[in-house]
Structure 1
């Protein structure tokens, strides 16, 4: 067999869209096999345990399969559409596009790198925290690839290796994603699917973020110190000469960065935007009934005759926000960035549209994945599957249940490396199962995002990881060998943490 023939038949992992579509087909086939059923619901629309009963079968055909992604986006009488979530994803993409138009994020990182020369351990700690925060708050991922060729020469010049730079940049975002606090693509999306506020469980996720980020920092620093003391301990020592030729150019080794006053203002707006989003999503009155400051302030503003008319009488108080409100926030802040960044109208629109285009696939995949739920709901097998789960979970302690859910998410994340696709495909069912097991929905969200962050740190189906390792000249076999112990540690920590949450 010739090399061309071998290449022709080489297996390639299908995209998340293809995997999700075949899952829709699988669910449609199951509607012909699994008995149809339904549950009674309470006034809040939640399923009532112990009320399952069989109903007339509704098998789904070819028309239903191809209509499912469309219905998943716009919704029908059985399934809430994903259009609000998809629109939010597009708008936040536009916001990031406008911010990136000013170069504020890139140059901000460059300044940190430049000022930390001679203090590389401090640089490692600082960047791990920043990239982890980025992953935890707004889903930082692919945009970090540009920093790999920037940071690698710096790390090599002080005796480290490309593994360190890849870990500091890419692994940190995955650890941040594992413990997402308000990441709209994981926490926000998963919470929206099961109908809870993204701010619910924020404190526990923040604690987990501190723990796992601390573990990663220790792991990276331990390896960096070891190979600096003895370069032969590096897992890529055999590529040392090649990497020196590849990265240690005069230009790269002396790369510096500066930040303008305009970029400082843009970064301030950037930080303020996510700060306001956090304030808006945290259910303050649910945490403490006496915490009514934002509601009182909102009432004062909207009822003040002239001010209320200017602002708008339908303004929602911080703490009661959902996807519509945070979409408005990012849209409004995009205009603010345009103003403080002195961006012309055409450049603003080009950057905003380009940013939306970058996240278009993410926005669409939400609707495609929701199509799975559409077929299950229209075929009336969702309740039956939940009934099977209810029976199997009856009597199971909360701890073992949440660990089983976590492992389920881990296994499925290898097939669906898109965190948004994984959430849309699974959270509808898993949220209901959590309700049956008397586990708070926010804990199920934590189980999902912990699995997603963990898997995207090692799976070759994650494009951002493949790109980062390619840029750093690190093979997957070496990466797996280096991350093995850390992944096991993070897996165990996640399990213990989830169990503790079920006991509180």
Structure 2
């Protein structure tokens, strides 16, 4: 097996990683956010519910005294006076971010707990060995099949955080094939991100964005389906090229005649049924993070019963599994803290106001391509898909109309910008959670994904040009 230089972080003489720890990296980004609250003007749009009202942006006076950086009790910004963040308010944003993200964080931890019970049952390892035996360990068959399934759930149903539970399974598969954690993480992340980038019928992205620009909900799916097929094919080929360069090996000790035990079959049947329930729960019953977290607790209990575990063994496995998701949950809370810092100092609306001014009054092609870049930049500050739609679409929609860009194309620009940057931005709590779960350093991920990111960006620009000139 070839070893990957991209798969492991650079190490010092003592064998320790020289790359910045993800928590330290998020704290550094928080300090940058604090600096932005001093550098950028504060301002605000009027809002109706969550949506901004175009043409209502107003500057708000801001006190930029650097002594406030050390204020223990910083004043809160309001409609009349804005205040930059202090170091104290930045630290206070951490528990606030954790609190605001609590449903998602606990759902992720319960995923870890359920997976801990599943791994303890032995059914997952046995099932993967059986899968490898049946397919001959052909990674060129397994990779596209798995990526198509994951991407379909993402683009049609909006699944994204739910796939955190898939990454540990892929880690076991990668280990069996002598492939590292980067392969396992990339298999899930590329497929899920491509699904969101295309969002053929993704309700989480489209249910807010399309009505704002007054186009029928879920309309325009034809072009987005073409985007999905092409981008996913390139993503699969990119990962398989990585596999070809690294090499892989099929376990020699696989027993092609060995059958799964009855308890293992029961457990895997529970896991298979849970996938169906998740699809129905998220798409039909509109489950949120709380309901999903509840479901993962219940699934962990059912798996323990099916495997015949003792209560103590099951509980220990569940707690141990939750521990493994602690870093992922913390990173999501820290990413939310960055958004809170910028929001509380009233600079987010200033950013969208000035970015929108770049494309306003331009030709339709420049305006459309510019909207992709605007959304990509906004994604660094507002990783939330729904949050970004609420603040950007009411502004960019009318600008697109005046420039001759259809509402459908404005939505496409939103999806492209949102999906592209979410592949690389360190402020995306979900991306960092994927990397933490897969035990892949952010630096190693960037080195691996940047060429694919560049290809996707160029293709997105080409698709946008086609959308503009075809009247999409």
Q: TM-score, normalised by structure 1?
A: 0.63
Deviation at 1:363, TM superposition (A): 1.0
Are 2:151 and 1:151 aligned?
A: no
Shift of 1:144: 2.8
User: Separation in 2 of the partners of 1:500 and 1:488?
Assistant: 19
- Partner residue of 1:63? 88
Name the residue aligned to 1:99.
Answer: 118
Q: How many residues were matched structurally?
A: 392
Following superposition, the deviation at residue 172 of structure 1 comes to 2.7
Give unpaired runs (5+ residues) of structure 1: 1-5, 75-80, 153-161, 225-233, 283-317, 413-420, 471-475
The answer as to whether partners of 2:147 and 2:236 remain within 8 angstroms in 1 is no
Tell me if structure 1 keeps the 8 A contact 2:167–2:188: yes
Contact 2:42–2:82 (Cα < 8 Å) also in 1: yes
- Residue in structure 2 matched with residue 400 of structure 1 by the alignment: 369
How far apart, CA to CA, are the structure 2 residues paired with 1:167 and 1:14? 18
Q: Displacement, 1:355?
A: 1.7
- Is 1:48–2:14 an aligned residue pair? no
5 Å matches for 1:80-229? 81-117=100-136, 120=138, 124-130=140-146, 133=149, 138-139=163-164, 140-141=166-167, 143-152=169-178, 169=184, 171-180=186-195, 210-217=229-236
Counterpart CA distance in 2 for 1:69 and 1:193 is 28
SS at structure 1 position matched to 2:28? helix
The 10-residue stretch of structure 1 (427-436 or 353-362) with the greater mean CA deviation from structure 2: 427-436
1:473-494 superposed Cα distances (whole Å, 9 cap, x missing partner): xxx99x79xx95x666545445
Alignment of 1:97-496 (within 5 A): 97-117=116-136, 120=138, 124-130=140-146, 133=149, 138-139=163-164, 140-141=166-167, 143-152=169-178, 169=184, 171-180=186-195, 210-217=229-236, 252-256=251-255, 258-282=259-283, 318-395=284-361, 397=364, 399-405=368-374, 408=377, 423=383, 428=387, 432-438=391-397, 444=414, 447-453=417-423, 464=438, 489-495=455-461
Aligned residue number for residue 8 of structure 2: none
> Structure 2 stretches of 5 or more lacking a match?
1-11, 61-80, 212-216, 398-406, 427-431
- The answer on 1:12 being equivalent to 2:18 is yes
User: For 1:129 and 1:176, how far apart are their aligned partners in 2?
Assistant: 11
Distance 1:327 1:145, change over 3 A: closer
380 and 149 in structure 1: CA distance in 2 versus 1, 3 angstrom threshold: closer
Q: Give the C-alpha shift of residue 91 in structure 1.
A: 1.5
C-alpha spacing 1:322/1:113, structure 2 compared with 1 (3 Å): same
Cα-Cα RMSD? 4.7
CA distance 1:422–1:40, change in 2 (3 Å): closer
TM-fit CA distance, 1:340 = 2.0
Please give the alpha-carbon distance, in whole angstroms, between the structure 2 residues aligned to 1:350 and 1:215. Answer: 42
Q: CA deviation at 1:437?
A: 1.6
Q: What is the TM-score with the length of structure 2 in the denominator?
A: 0.66
Aligned residue for 1:437, secondary structure, equals: helix
Specify the alignment match of 2:74 in structure 1: none
**Residue 403 of structure 2: aligned partner:** none
SS at match of 1:37: strand
Distance, in Å, in 2 between the alignment partners of 1:465 and 1:432 is 34
